[in-house]
Amino acid sequence: MNVTLEQARALDALARHGTFAAAAGALRKGHTAVLYALRTLEEQTELTLLDRRGYRTRLTPAGERVLEHCRKLLAAERELEAACAEIRSGWEPTLRIVFDGVFPAEPLLRIVKELRAEGAGTRFHVSAEFLAGVEAAFAREEADLMVSVIPPTLPGLRTYRLPELKAVLVAHRSHPLAKRRGVLKDEELAEHLLLTVHGSDPRLQLSTASLETRSTVHLNDFAAKKVAIMEGLGYGWLPEHLVTRELRRGELKALKLARGSTHAFQPQLHHRTGVKPGRAARRVVQVLTGVEP
């Protein structure tokens, strides 16, 4: 079976306008062209699609069923035309963004929402990874943009600095470490579980790095880590933007260390220098960095 768009248009026009002449006029085709398209459609489907017995030609039940599928073909054609028009206007078909989970997702999702509201037909794929896993996913998925907090090893990247992020070493107020006064020593910390996300990376230079070989629990993401800390399972670093409310309420306590209870991350945005960013990618870079790529 080789149903064409011309046949689908002819059946749709006849159903909408009621007569061959009116259908031909709507399609700006000759009367005989519409008759031919419908006759060959019946031959290819091996079905009687039209009831020609009355004053007006009507669709048979089989014709109504075939019409449903013909209209799906026509809808797919319109979607294809729209997608091609969007691509010609500069909107890339897809935009893949991989970011480190310590970076807040809200700014990225806000940009995606704005672009969708402006009519961008780009399909967005936004995923969170952690530490070295960000670069691995960027390479594996051939992503377009990457937000990392450790320097990437891939060559040929253009890099933009993003505003500094902070993490706070915290424990629930009921945790023994939160109840101790004064500066905590490594021996005191080592008595309790240190919670991490997929383990840390020495390039982060965390003040708790030496403790990770002792009592450590690795979790999948910061949401799970926060839940574990709130349950009093252990202590660990959480992004400041995730714990502001709990610190203000006193539900979480910042642990005092000689090296400080906060750690600064320097996130960076990257894209490949050999690939010109599309319209959506340029917008993301511009909003996050204030720089036109």
pLDDT for 208: 58
Looking at the DSSP bridge assignments, the partners of residue 243 are none
Nearest to 164 by CA among 287, 286, 265, 269: 265
Tokens 């959480």, residue?
A: 238
Q: Which residues of the chain are under the pLDDT cut of 70?
A: 199-215
How many CB atoms are located within 10 Å of the residue 32 CB?
A: 10
Tens of pLDDT, residue by residue over 209-220, are 555 555 577 888
How many CB atoms are located within 10 Å of the residue 273 CB?
A: 11
Looking at residue 166, the DSSP 8-state letter turns out to be E
Q: Which amino acid is at 193?
A: L
H runs (alpha helix) in 196-278: 222-230, 240-249
The phi and psi torsions of 198 (rounded to 5 degrees) equal 55, 20
| 291 half-sphere exposure, CB direction, 13 A CA radius | 9
Rounded CA separation 34/14 (Å): 9
Which distant-in-sequence residues (6+ apart) come within 8 Å of 93 by Cβ?
83, 87, 121, 122, 123
* pTM of the complete model beyond 0.75: no
pLDDT for 49: 93
* Contact criterion met (CB below 8 Å) for 103 and 161: no
Structural tokens at position 72:
């799906």
Q: Which helix (H) or strand (E) element contains residue 178?
A: helix 176-179
